Structures are given as structure tokens and as C-alpha cells.
Amino acid sequence: MTIMNSTLYKLCVAPMMGHTDKHFRYLLRIISKKSMLYTEMVASNSILHNKRNKLNKLEHNNENPVGFQLGGDDPQQLADCAEIVESYGYNEINLNIGCPSKRAQSGNFGACLFGQPELVAKCVKQISKVTKLPITVKTRLGIDDFDDIKHLENFINIVSEGGIETFHLHARKAILKKGVNPRKNRSVPPIEYEKVYNIKEKYPTLKIILNGEINAPLDVVNHLKYVDGVMIGRAVCNNPFILNDIEKLIYKENVINKEKVLSEYFHYIINNFNNNMKITDFTKHLSSIFKGYIGSKHTRSYMCHELNYEKDPLKKLEELLFKEDLWKNGQDLYTKVT
């Protein structure tokens, strides 16, 4: 697939642990031809020591363009990982400077690196010695009391000096101190789009991608007046078809049909599923598209759990996906959101 640089980052799907695995990315690529996809974050030492089979996370289905997100703070380890990632055919290395979890803090990666821009720049320089892939950074607007715009500018100055041209900015700060868990820190403190718009104004030559609580296609169009691209996370998990709605708006093309998407994904499952696997690893990504249809709560639970226990899960899945009344009854959320 040819990657057009001018459009590459206009629409990105955020890295999300437990979600943006190769199956979900395959589904998203059927729906959206032009969005930039990202893997979940994988820590560099997990890759180098193949901890808990983390190398499985490197596999993909040519659903390019896909960026591989790395977490780590050791320049040489990250460079070694970047070489491995490139050999698997990914299109970009993305560094995670946004994860506020305790695990990330104890490993000195993720959001705590926001306070160490010189080390981030060093990592970027070391990675760029071993790969020609673009290197990008996904970060927050600050951490704890280190949240003044000057801190963000300082981070961007030093890290861009290290070679980064593209920043994905989750438009809120990370809270590392006790009492706020990472999940909550995706909704609090309030989102600050203006700060990101101002960064783009101040650094017109950098590519600035806005992330955080972008839930409606028309909002994407609005944000694109101020930044180079948007990155969407939870809204895509809640409704993968939103990508098509957005593409329709920003590229005026690519109207896809829901049944066709399901049929293509079903064939992917047939070709890739075997009895040593859980079929729900494939079908959990479909469950959200049943939202809004009659009986959807039961259907979604079935796709995420019970289907594993069927004798012939493929047959059951086929019956479920292509049962006509499932689509004819009920309200189609997909058309409602546009």
C-alpha cells in the first residue's frame, strides 16, 4: 500500500492495550483504508527477553500503515527493538511518553519521561541510527505540577532537536501521584484542546496530532482546521464504523457497507482461527457493532465469552452475523452518529 505522507496522520487510531491487536487492526483496515493504525504499547525489555510471549504482539497481517508503540527508557534497548520491529514490516516507531501506570513509573517509561526530555532525545537519536522508519512520540501535555505550557514547549524543543517531527498530544496532563488510576486519568483533568492548537501555531513545521475525547465525525473536521491530524481511541472501540463516517467527511469517498465488512472479517476468522485459539479473541472486536440493535446486550456478551464454549463456534458465528433480522430490526447507531 502506498502511503501518502500528506494524509498519513490526518486520522489515527490510538494505541490501546487489550484492543489494538492484529485482529482489531485487520477489522479496522477493512473499514478504513486511510487511517494510521497503532499497536498496543509493548515494553522494550519484554520484546528483548520475549517475556510472556510478547513476540506474538509483533505479528501482523499487513494491515499497513501501522506504527509500533514501544515503551522504554534505555536508548540501546529501544534501538535493538526498533530493528526487530522494522524487520516485521511496521511503518513507524512510536514512543510512549503518556502512560501514567505504576508499572510504567517503576520502569521509568511512559509519562514519567516527560520530565526527562534529554533522555527521550537520546533514545530517539539511538533509534534513528538503526532504522529509517519515522519515529514519533505520543505524550501528555504535562505531568503533575509540571504542567505549564513552558514545560511542554521545553519538552518539544529538546525532543524535536533529537529528531522528532511528529507529536501525538493527548490533550491533558498525566497524574502520577497516588490516588488517580490510569483509567480515570483518561477523563480527568479536563481536556485542553486550545493548548494543542497553540503548540501547532508555535511550531508550524512540526506535525501535531490531537488526541483525547474526540467522539464525533464533525468534531474531527473542526479540529483539522488547527492541527495536522487527530487520533481517536475509545470512540473507535465503541463504534469502529466511525472511521468510515470520518473518511466520508474528510475525503468525500469510501462508503462501505456493514454486511460486506462483516463478511470479509468472517473470512479472515475462517482463515486464521484454529481450535487452539479462543474465537472470542477475534469476535470481541465485533461486539460493539451490535450496540443499538435488539438483543444487543446478550449478543455482545456472547461474542466476548460464551461463543468459546460452542462445539462449532464458526457455524454459530456465521448464523449470528448473517441472520437477517439482526440487522433489520432495531436502530442502526452507525447512521445515527453521522
Ligand X SMILES: Cc1cc2nc3c(=O)[nH]c(=O)nc-3n(C[C@H](O)[C@H](O)[C@H](O)COP(=O)(O)O)c2cc1C
Q: Is 252 strand, coil or helix?
A: coil
Cα distance between residue 201 and residue 193, in whole Å: 13
- Write down the least CB distance from residue 172 to ligand X, Å: 8
Q: If you ran DSSP here, which 8-state letter would residue 189 be given?
A: S
By CB under 6 A, what part of segment 256-295 binds ligand X? none
- Asked if 130 and 123 count as a contact pair (C-beta separation under 8 A), the reply is no
Q: Give me the least distance between CB of 182 and ligand X, in Å please.
A: 8
Q: How far is CA 27 from CA 7, 83, 283, in A?
A: 21, 27, 10
Measured between alpha carbons, how far is 262 from 246 in angstroms, rounded to an integer? 19
96 with 61: CB under 8 angstroms?
Answer: no
Q: Which residue number places its CB atom closest to ligand X?
A: 233
**Under the criterion CB under 6 A, does residue 211 sit at the interface with ligand X?**
yes
- Answer yes or no: are the C-beta atoms of 66 and 32 closer than 8 Å: no
> Is 237 assigned a catalytic role?
no
| CB closer to ligand X out of 14 and 307 | 14
Using CB under 6 A, pick the residue from 32, 35, 46, 69 that binds ligand X: 69
**Which of 29, 34, 60, 170: binder of ligand X (CB under 6 A)?**
170
Residue closer to ligand X by CB (options 235, 246) is 235
Q: Which stretch binds ligand X (CB under 6 A): 92-100, 143-151, 249-257, 276-284?
A: 92-100
Q: Which residues, including other chains, have CB under 8 Å from residue 6's CB and lie 6 or more apart?
A: none
Contact assessment for residue 27 and residue 54, using Cβ atoms and an 8 Å cutoff: no
Site membership for ligand X, residue 153 (CB under 6 A): no
Which parts of 41-162 fold into alpha helices (H)?
A: 44-48, 75-87, 102-106, 117-130, 149-161
Residues in contact with ligand X, shown as a per-residue x/- string from 221 to 260 under the rule CB under 6 A = -----------xxxx-------------------------
- The residues in 14-33 that bind ligand X, with binding defined as CB under 6 A, are 14-19
Q: Which stretch binds ligand X (CB under 6 A): 77-85, 206-214, 300-308, 319-327?
A: 206-214
Residues near ligand X (CB under 6 A): 14-19, 40-41, 69, 96, 98-99, 138, 170, 186, 211-214, 232-235
Catalytic residues: 99
